[in-house]
């Protein structure tokens, strides 16, 4: 929405400034051309905005799909939560909802992921900035879901880097955001809003589970 405002604002200012020296008989043609150009430039943003407005979200605090598109309810979803200290270069505002075909379908500015630590306390009181990929199905292991989900994005915007040790795969970087060597930050793993009891390689998932990766702390 902010980008749209900037574009149309610029068109208005430019139109006012340039239109003054133009003969009156040509002003209407100039104004019409300027607004047609503005519409062409903003067409992709308008399309995304209209699509976003058409999406309805689950509104149920007790549902692991709370805040996610209603069409994803009952399916497997994976989310990636970036912090203000570790921003993603693409997903910097709200949470982008991405379909199983890799297409961005909406942005939910109020989504917070409903995450809780091991002792039940709520983590974070601000909305997430990141992305969720949903409408997935057929996975029984969290690691397989993670790798296949990020592979859906054409530009590898959420590429996962991991090491494999004695305890299986260990994720060290997502979308270019890497954990700190001194462990002052790391990628936390959650399942249905609670901290995962096992690592991603051993995480068994059901048909309607929601996995969340969150850069900590």
State residue 93's pLDDT score: 87
Q: Which domain holds residue 13?
A: 2-54
**Distance separating alpha carbons of residues 142 and 56, to the nearest angstrom:** 27
State residue 128's pLDDT score: 76
Looking up residue 200, the CATH number of its domain turns out to be: 2.170.130.30
Structural tokens at position 140 = 């029984």
State residue 148's pLDDT score: 98
Three-class DSSP category at 156: coil
Residue 59 falls inside a structural domain: no
Question: Do 117 and 152 belong to one domain?
Answer: yes
Question: Do 13 and 94 belong to one domain?
Answer: no
In the chain, which stretches have pLDDT less than 70? Answer: 1-31, 33-35, 37-53, 113-127
State residue 53's pLDDT score: 57
Question: Do 33 and 128 belong to one domain?
Answer: no
Kindly give, in sequence order, each residue whose CB lies less than 8 Å from that of residue 135, ignoring residues fewer than 6 positions away. Answer: 71, 72, 75, 77, 99, 100
**Distance separating alpha carbons of residues 204 and 214, to the nearest angstrom:** 19
State residue 20's pLDDT score: 59
State residue 118's pLDDT score: 47
> Angle at the Cα of 80 (from 78 to 86), degrees rounded to 5?
170
Question: Do 191 and 121 belong to one domain?
Answer: yes
**Distance separating alpha carbons of residues 110 and 131, to the nearest angstrom:** 13
Question: Do 201 and 137 belong to one domain?
Answer: yes
**Distance separating alpha carbons of residues 168 and 176, to the nearest angstrom:** 21
Question: Do 22 and 92 belong to one domain?
Answer: no
- The alpha carbon of 89 is separated from its chain's Cα centroid by a whole number of angstroms, namely 11
Question: Do 25 and 120 belong to one domain?
Answer: no
- The alpha carbon of 147 is separated from its chain's Cα centroid by a whole number of angstroms, namely 16
């Amino acid at each position: 929405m902010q980008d749209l405002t900037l574009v149309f604002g610029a068109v208005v200012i430019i139109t006012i400034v340039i239109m003054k020296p133009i003969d009156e008989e040509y002003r209407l043609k100039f104004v019409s051309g300027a607004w047609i150009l503005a519409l062409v430039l903003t067409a992709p943003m308008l399309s995304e905005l209209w699509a976003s407005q058409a999406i309805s979200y689950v509104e149920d605090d007790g549902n692991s799909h709370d805040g996610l598109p209603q069409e994803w309810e009952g399916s497997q979803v994976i989310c990636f939560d970036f912090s203000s200290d570790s921003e993603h270069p693409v997903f910097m505002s709200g949470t982008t909802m991405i379909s199983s075909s890799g297409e961005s379908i909406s942005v939910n500015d109020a989504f917070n992921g409903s995450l809780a630590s091991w002792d039940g306390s709520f983590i974070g009181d601000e909305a997430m900035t990141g992305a969720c990929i949903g409408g997935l199905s057929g996975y029984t292991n969290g690691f397989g879901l993670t790798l296949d989900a990020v592979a859906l994005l054409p530009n590898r915007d959420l590429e996962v880097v991991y090491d494999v040790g004695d305890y299986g795969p260990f994720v060290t970087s997502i979308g270019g955001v890497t954990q700190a060597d001194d462990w002052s930050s790391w990628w936390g793993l959650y399942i249905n809003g609670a901290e995962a009891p096992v690592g991603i390689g051993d995480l068994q998932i059901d048909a309607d589970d929601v996995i969340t990766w969150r850069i900590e702390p």
